[in-house]
Structure 1
Amino acid sequence: MYEKKAAIGGQVTSAATPEFKGQLRALIGWYERQLEQLHVHIHLNHEITPDDPALQSADHIFIGAGAIPLIPPIPGIHHDHVIGAIEAHLQKELVRGEQIVITGGGLTGCDLGLELAMEGKKVTIVEMRPEAGQDVMYINRAALMPMLERHGVTILGGHKVLSFEANGLYAENAEGSKVFIEADTMINAFGMRKNTTIAEQIRAKFEAKTSLIGDCVKIGKVGTAVRSGFYAASAV
């Protein structure tokens, strides 16, 4: 197994940082123990390229390159005080100030909003759809939304982000009016897109023995990615 980062876990690592995500942290630990017991050789800090000798000698190649953040072309999105959700989870020093605005009210944005609110931040979630959490499983949403309310998280549904500014952002509300929302730090949780570049490069060179798995095939939840890998391995 080859992993370009210093530890296994992928996006689960960032998703597991909140206090209320203990089961996700336990899942990573479980996989670490299982891989060790099964004597799987793990090469960390090793980014595979299509010319890597390991690919040439392999009988079969599974590529789980995951997904990368979706960054829409919104003015100001590359300002220093506008960061991504993954960075907000893993590099808390980048979340400056007390007023935090999260753009995107899916599961990622809601989880992150709750995490920061539990740390004492004043959080506002800006969601383009009428309501936040629409991609969250019903049983999880039934617990998550009341927790957001209990910790004082403001949710602005029906708001489309127009631009990021030095001290906040402009959005268009459901009535078509332009509103300004103040923020010290703005966090993008617009979603993810498939990381297909390296996957397609490797498959083009070793098509007969390559299988793509997880989010680089279709964006999904943790369980979806796990099942994708299991089914692909079972088919070999």
Structure 2
Amino acid sequence: MAERAATSTRRCTVNPLIGREIEGDEIQPAPTKRKVVVVGGGPGGLYAAYTAARRGHDVTLYEKENEVGGILKSEQAISFKHEMYELSGTYALLAKRAGVHFKMNTEATKALIEKENPYAVIIATGSTPLVPPIPGLKGDNVIVVNDYYKEKDKVTDHVVVFGGGLAGCECAIHLGMEGKHVELVEMRDQLAVDANIRHRPLLLAQIDKYVKAHTGLKGLEVTSNGILCEDKDGNKVTIEGTTVICALGQRSTTKTVEELQDTAPFVRVIGDAAKVSTITNAVYWGYHAALDI
């Protein structure tokens, strides 16, 4: 899973040490054992907890849901992304073996953290789907891409994926592979601009094979028949489909970050909670946050 960046540095989603061997960032015992709280059980939070525990800290991870994984949970229903979903299970197992205490179904409020009185808090609460106030976007025929794994049985044979970023493109390809008729609507002129530079050409080739893409269209309204759009010349066009997958991006969980920002002497915000980015960055930020404690 290693990838080469524009600077010729190799990076790996699952192992932050790759590409940084000469920096001396191997895990070393912490000079002082600290009490550490990690908020959020996505990939960044799990790896931060694992790394901090390996350094000898007393680590507790709080997850408000009954399963860890964060945004990786949405990958379990995408046929070619299931390995990424499994990654969260691997990280959780490593963290448990390292001694991390897991508190599931528990929201880490300011009062709870202050009662715990930790030295360090790593906030890894991730992001939430962006669902703008477009008429009809909360209709019964609409599924947010993050929830596709829970509602895939509701998807009909004619689908419009609303949003042509990486998540939307991958979902569209998966649905096309299943034999569904898939339309993809994107306001920008290009698809998957947030994809890895090496992965993107392969992704676009699959789009050409399985999906009918429409770029340069602004979605105005979601109806039972599809999405009413407007092109750059102001012309109205309806992209038809009986199911709409909303894949318009993510936004950071700023409310939680603001609440927990001053709950310990050392506070670090990582991953999507800091800035919506990639799984690779979340893992790297979690790893280095734990090294700094």
In the superposition, the TM-score normalised over structure 1's length comes to 0.92
Match of 1:148 in 2: 207
Instruction: Please report how far the alpha carbon of residue 93 of structure 1 lies from its aligned counterpart in structure 2 after TM superposition.
Output: 2.3
Structure 2 counterpart of 1:81, from 133, 141, 151: 141
8 A contact 1:100–1:124 mirrored in 2: yes
Q: Does 1:115 align with 2:182?
A: no
State the match for 1:209 in structure 2.
266
Find out whether 1:176 has 2:176 as its counterpart: no
SS in 2 for 1:218: coil
CA distance in 2, matches of 1:15, 1:92: 12
Question: Which whole-Å CA distance do the structure 2 matches of 1:120 and 1:17 have between them?
Answer: 15
CA drift at 1:183: 1.2
TM alignment of 1:36-75, pairs within 5 A: 36-52=96-112, 56-75=116-135
Contact 1:88 1:94 in 2 (8 A): no
Task: Give how far 1:55 is off.
Answer: 5.1
Q: Give, in angstroms, the shift of residue 21 of structure 1.
A: 1.6
* One-letter identity of the residue aligned with 1:199: V
SS in 2 for 1:51: helix
TM-score (norm 2): 0.75
Residues of 1 paired with 2:125 and 2:112: CA distance?
Answer: 16
Percent identity (aligned): 33
Which of these residues, 22, 31, 49, is aligned with residue 91 of structure 2?
A: 31
Q: 2:143·2:151 contact (CA, 8 Å) conserved in 1?
A: no
For structure 1, the 5+ residue unaligned runs are: none
Cα distance change, pair 55–130 in 1 and its aligned pair in 2 (3 A): farther
Quick check: 1:99 aligned with 2:158?
yes
| Aligned CA distance change for structure 1 residues 166 and 17 (closer, same or farther; 3 Å) | closer
Aligned to 2:257: 199
The secondary structure found in structure 2 opposite 1:138 is coil
Note if 1:132 corresponds to 2:187: no
Tell me the CA shift for residue 67 of structure 1. 0.4
Quote the Cα distance in structure 1 between the aligned partners of 2:256 and 2:212. Answer: 39
For residue 227 of structure 1, report the CA deviation from its aligned partner. 0.9
Q: Distance between the aligned counterparts of 1:29 and 1:139, measured in 2?
A: 27
CA-CA distance at 1:219 after TM superposition: 0.6
Corresponding residue pairs, total: 233
* Residues 89, 112 of structure 1: 8 Å contact kept: no
> 1:32 Cα shift?
2.3
**Are the equivalent residues in 2 in contact too, given 1:87–1:94 (CA < 8 A)?**
no
Q: Deviations over 1:165-220 (max 9, x none)?
A: 1221100124331001111111111101111111211114x153322111110110
- Once the two structures are TM-superposed, the CA of residue 150 in structure 1 deviates from its matched residue by 2.0
